[in-house]
Structure formats: structure tokens, C-alpha cells
Amino acid sequence: MSAAEAIRNRATLERFHTATNSGDPDTVAKAMDAFVAPDVRFHAPVPMGATGVAALKQVWEVLLRAFPDLHVTVEETVAEGDKVVSRNRVTGTHLGEYRGLRPTGRTVDYSEIFVLRFAEGRIVEIRGVVDVLAQLRQLGALPS
């Protein structure tokens, strides 16, 4: 993989983040169709039974329903070969049901790291670590 391809993959991820920060579920779904392979391998905390891009779409539907103002701030990105690593800070206000929790009105501020593998300009594999413990503590679901 050339350095130019790594730069293109990084730019694709930036466009994807722009779409997810729109807060519009339709915009997010269209971005997934454009930037993510339909059979993407998704290795992240997803308790739903779906696979591929359908699993990713479900995750974002749940997140945007629970946190309509969800915002992902990219703090660091490294692109090398066919992979892009993104370390992010996520913020949002809990205004909808989430993981069985009724809306609390509380804000969350947590970290995540994703390693994305690209092929032919699309995301084909996602590995993620999300600080769900911090998220749930901030929502009052777990003691701090």
C-alpha cells in the first residue's frame, strides 16, 4: 500500500467523522453506505445480533437516539499501510433510552480508539475499544 493510499484512507475516515457528527441518522447511514463495505468485519462492543454494516448502523441509531448531540472529536490519527487508527473523545447529552437507562439529562465524556482496515477505499474491518465503564458511571448506572 502506498503512502498516497494511506492519505486517502485517512481522508475517508475524516469524511466519515464529519457525517457522524451531523447528528442526522440519514446522513450517517448514507456515509456508511459510501465509506464502509457491506460485509465489514466489526469487532467492537455491539450487543446486537447484526453483522456487517447493518451492525454499525444499529450502533449509530442507538447512539443518536440516546445522545442526539453526540460529537466525536478526533484527538489523534495515525495512517499506515491499509490501516488508520483514530483516538477519539466522545461527548453527548443523555436524552433518550440507552442500555436500559431512561434519559438522565446527564452529559458523557469518554474515550475510544478504533483501528480501521481499508480495501479499495472502503472500511472493511473495524476493531474498537470504547470506555463504556466511564460512560455508564457518568450516567449513574455504576458507582464512581
Q: Note the pLDDT tens digit of each residue in 29-86.
A: 999 999 999 999 988 766 567 788 998 899 999 999 999 999 999 999 999 999 999 9
pTM, 2 dp: 0.91
Are 44 and 126 within 8 A, CB to CB? Answer: yes
Helix-helix angle 25-35:3-20, to 10 degrees: 160
Range of the domain at 18: 3-138
Query: Which residue is it, cell 495515525?
Result: 78
6-25, pLDDT tens digit by residue?
A: 999 999 999 999 999 999 99
CATH number for position 84: 3.10.450.50
SS3 6: helix
Count up the domains in the chain and report the number: 1
| H-assigned helices in 21-143 | 25-35, 52-66, 132-138
Distance, CA of 74 to CA of 61 (rounded, Å) = 20
Residue 86 lies in a domain: yes
Given a cut of 80, is residue 1 above it in pLDDT? no
